């Protein structure tokens, strides 16, 4: 007996339907002074902004394996808090290293603007403050989290910094957007750190330290499978592409503050000036090539 037209049509419809994968559901819920973000009901990350912390940060940042690709401090570097934005040596204060009395980036407002479909959007307003001094900076962070595929999670940061007074940032390696990788994914433990030009590792002529590059990717192997995280700088950023401060133990940060044009002058910003910065973080399975970091940067570069 020949199959009916109806059955053939039914098979075609099923094949077409299964060929189109559903979008990942990304959700957020606020729990006290943190926001939990899940992808398809599995925890991806937490955005933490409690009063006893130096600055807001993300931890864990779980890769597709379910384990965090970042680490949360250790005895040698207690000021490395996973994935964060901060700065030392601002108008005599320290908004990076331990000691709240030296300065902290305090949350004034944290709101979930979107949740439950294919993205989460968080808006976080912060004030940079320390006892006995006027606040030099207020910032607003718009953070968008998506999951382009089961092997790739994405965090987009748009950060606007408003100068509330004349600001001087002295030469410092402790500055701006930064990440500390999990130890097992670091170069020191067999992982890779590679930039857009193909430089690898920290030091030397072929290393990444001090090199200007649009992006950096760090990855290692877990249970026989590579996994990692990349940071991308948007071309609209001042100082683009900023040189990278890198360490083989797993720290990497695109920062111009360690290489000011005039070391004595540092980096100076005037009262009323606004600084706008954009970064994209890609948490991925695979190595740099299989994760398509170059193509993902081209998409980011062309985004408005």
3 state SS of 62: strand
pTM of the predicted structure, to 2 decimals: 0.91
pLDDT in tens, the chain (304 residues): 444 433 333 333 333 333 344 679 999 999 999 999 999 999 999 999 999 999 999 999 999 999 999 999 876 777 889 999 999 999 999 999 999 999 999 999 999 999 999 999 999 999 999 999 999 999 999 999 999 999 999 999 999 999 999 999 999 999 999 999 999 999 999 999 999 999 999 999 999 999 999 999 999 999 999 999 999 999 999 999 999 999 999 999 999 999 988 998 999 999 999 999 999 999 999 999 999 999 999 999 999 8
Calculate the alpha carbon distances from 2 to 10, 22, 155 in Å: 15, 33, 52
Calculate the alpha carbon distances from 203 to 211, 234, 280 in Å: 10, 25, 25
Count of C-beta atoms within a 10 Å radius of residue 213:
18
Longest dimension (CA), the chain: 89
Calculate the alpha carbon distances from 280 to 214, 235, 236, 262 in Å: 11, 12, 13, 29
Report how many helices (DSSP H) and strands (DSSP E) the chain contains, helices first: 2, 19
The label of the residue with tokens 């002529």 reads 205
Left if phi > 0, otherwise alpha if psi is -120 to 50, otherwise beta: which for 116? left
Query: How far is the C-alpha of 46 from the C-alpha of 34, rounded, in Å?
Result: 7
DSSP state of 188: G
* β-bridge partners, 139: 126, 161
- Mention the CATH class of domain 22-302: mainly beta
């Amino acid at each position: 007996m020949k199959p009916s037209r109806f059955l053939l049509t039914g098979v075609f419809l099923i094949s077409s339907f299964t060929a189109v994968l559903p979008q990942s559901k990304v959700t957020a819920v606020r729990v006290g002074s943190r926001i939990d973000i899940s992808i398809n009901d599995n925890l991806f990350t937490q955005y933490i902004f409690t009063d006893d912390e130096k600055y807001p940060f993300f931890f864990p940042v779980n890769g597709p394996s379910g384990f965090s690709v970042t680490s949360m401090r250790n005895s040698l570097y207690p000021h490395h808090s996973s994935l964060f934005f901060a700065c030392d040596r601002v108008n005599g204060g320290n908004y990076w290293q331990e000691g709240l009395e030296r300065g902290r980036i305090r949350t004034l407002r944290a709101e979930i603007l979107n949740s439950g479909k294919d993205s989460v959007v968080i808006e976080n307003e912060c004030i940079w403050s320390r006892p006995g001094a006027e606040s030099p900076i207020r910032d607003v962070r718009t953070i968008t989290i998506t999951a382009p595929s089961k092997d790739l999670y994405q965090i987009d940061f748009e950060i606007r910094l408003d100068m509330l007074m004349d600001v001087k940032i002295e030469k410092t390696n402790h500055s701006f957007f930064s990440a500390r990788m999990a130890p097992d994914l670091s170069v020191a433990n067999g992982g890779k750190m590679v930039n857009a030009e193909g430089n690898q590792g920290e030091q030397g002529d072929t290393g990444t330290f001090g090199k200007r590059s649009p992006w950096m990717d760090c990855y290692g192997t877990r249970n026989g499978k590579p996994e990692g995280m990349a940071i991308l700088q948007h071309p609209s950023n001042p100082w683009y592409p900023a040189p990278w401060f890198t360490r083989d133990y797993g720290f990497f940060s695109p920062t111009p503050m360690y290489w000011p044009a005039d070391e004595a002058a540092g980096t100076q910003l005037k009262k009323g000036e606004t600084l706008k910065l954009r970064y994209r973080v890609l948490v991925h399975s695979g190595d740099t090539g299989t994760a398509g970091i170059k193509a993902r940067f081209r998409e980011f570069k062309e985004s408005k």
